[in-house]
Structure 1
Amino acid sequence: MPTPFPPRSTPSAAAASPAASSAPGPADVAAAADRLRAAGCVFAEDEARLIADAARTAADLRAMVERRAAGLPLEHVVGWAEFHGLRILMDPGVFVPRRRTEFLVERAIAAAGERPVVVDLCCGSGALGAALAAARPGAELHAADIDPAAVRCARRNVESVGGSVHSGDLFAALPAGLRGRVDVLLANVPYVPTGDIRVLPAEAREHEARAALDGGADGLAVLRRVSAQAPDWLAPGGRMFVETSDRQVPSALAILRGDGMAAEAETSKEYAATVVVASRANR
């Protein structure tokens, strides 16, 4: 199971003093909460405690709080994200896994056998694949991303559960031997229309890779590319799981069905999420 890496610290002249080198105390945490609240953080007290737990010293805490107050995602500040019961290691610039995507993982786990061949495409941090492998220890897991920063981050999460990470563009990154063998294809592709990027929260817009967010003019450009090749990579009866928005469901279903797959949408009110599940028939 992934575990958090040591948090980053910011050296300073004050770090050599006894006060700066001591672990954060209650007064430091309270001051951190005040600073975060003033910066507009809704859950300032909770965030202050999480940052304090990750900080080695009171000076670290202050520096990390300033990064958060400046707009960095909390997960990038503390170095990990909670996802499906795991602590997923995070690096600056890498897409932060959203809680809503746990619905996709749960649907995939329910469909997976005991020893599935799993591919996490557009893997980002590798959170989806790591979560499935944690639930199915017998899985053969492969993850892939085109972003070098994501690949480096994913290796720490995916390799810790026995998987492999590949660098490259979609299926071109994968070993040829996986063709026709994939039981579960996790494809949390970017699906935000280009024109909507500007209205995303600043945390995502300014601190996550554009390629992890931008799905083209209608948000479905990457899905089209994945769908066109997926039938050749899926095993007979294999399934692909894709997250999308409610308004994109009709178009997403049409794309997948047009490429010869059976496809249906599933929605969770609990997660406020929609997942399209596609499968190929036996050949």
Structure 2
Amino acid sequence: MFASSGSSAPLPGEVVARLRAAGCVFAEDEARLLVAGARTPDELAAMVERRAAGLPLEHVLGWAAFHGLRVAVDPGVFVPRRRTEFLVDRAAALAPPRPVVVDLCCGSGALGAALASVAEGAELYAADLDPAAVRCARRNLPAGARVYQGDLFAPLPAGIRGRVDLLLANVPYVPSEEVGLLPPEARIHEARVALDGGADGLDLVRRVAGEAPGWLAPGGSLLVETGERQAGGAVEAFAAGGLVPSVATSEEWHATVVIGTRPGG
């Protein structure tokens, strides 16, 4: 909460009513977070209005909850989806001791940060094309992690080629013609480059699958999230790139993760 000031703070009930009127489904939960996060009554009023105007709650608060962590999320940066925790769990189950990890298309760095929190001694690298995302990831990733700006593998150091145990690539996979159907929070307030996966949503998946074998260690794995109906196409792309594919699904998280392992481990 906040100390008293010259302005009167919106009452919790008023905050809930304003959010509910704006169409926020979880108005009570959001109101509690906004009230807790505001330092002054004026700041609370401004935060409520930004949320009511459609700004993602995480951008209003400046953080997102992900895999037990509070991840900083700056305006315009892709908000990590809770379903992607399933990908992190699958990666953690595959992690060898002191793994070499790459978080590709890292966004806020949420996946890398989450995996590093459970995989002791991880040697962590991350990259993203978006400068705002790179700045955000540098704040979220642990000391010693290296974060690069550039297109997919291009900015990564050549010294990790053939050494990567876990390659997390939460690439955009929304088909281009469906981006306009996304909720306004995503299509208006997140960068299109973080959403648009091309005609069938698999353009980036194919690019990553084609290059991944040269970066993975023998037995190392690439993990991507896809839509359920895209899993078959992703499996084909993985196999064409020389990876041994498998698919993991979670009804609880409504999540589909395609895993490709480099033979030889």
Which residue does 1:221 correspond to in 2? 203
Deviations 1:110-143 (A, max 9, x none): 1002200000000000000000000013000011
Which residue does 1:66 correspond to in 2? 49
Equivalences, count:
262
Say whether 1:31 aligns with 2:14: yes
In the TM superposition, 1:193-204 aligns within 5 A as 193-204=175-186
Which residue does 2:172 correspond to in 1? 190
Which residue does 1:149 correspond to in 2? 132
Match of 1:144, SS state, is: strand
TM-score (norm 1): 0.90
What is the rounded CA distance, in whole Å, between the counterparts of 1:276 and 1:174 in structure 2? 23
Q: By how many angstroms is 1:163 displaced?
A: 1.3
What is the rounded CA distance, in whole Å, between the counterparts of 1:29 and 1:133 in structure 2? 37
RMSD: 1.3
Say whether 1:56 aligns with 2:39: yes
Deviations 1:216-262 (A, max 9, x none): 00100011111111000000100010100111111110111011110
What is the rounded CA distance, in whole Å, between the counterparts of 1:46 and 1:251 in structure 2? 38
Match of 1:281, SS state, is: coil
Deviations 1:13-35 (A, max 9, x none): xxxx9333x8x5xx622221111
Which residue does 1:132 correspond to in 2? 115
Determine if contact 1:180/1:232 at 8 Å carries over to the other structure.
yes
What is the rounded CA distance, in whole Å, between the counterparts of 2:53 and 2:218 in structure 1? 49
What is the rounded CA distance, in whole Å, between the counterparts of 1:19 and 1:199 in structure 2? 43
Q: What is the identity percentage for the equivalent residue pairs of Structure 1 and Structure 2?
A: 65
Which residue does 1:44 correspond to in 2? 27
Say whether 1:122 aligns with 2:108: no
Moved over 6 A (4+): none
Determine if contact 2:242/2:262 at 8 Å carries over to the other structure.
yes
Unpaired segments of 5 or more residues in structure 1? 1-16
Unpaired segments of 5 or more residues in structure 2? none
Which of 199, 206, 212 aligns to 2:188? It is: 206
TM-score (norm 2): 0.96
Say whether 1:172 aligns with 2:154: yes
What is the rounded CA distance, in whole Å, between the counterparts of 2:208 and 2:84 in structure 1? 18
Which of 61, 82, 100 aligns to 2:83? It is: 100
Q: By how many angstroms is 1:161 displaced?
A: 4.7
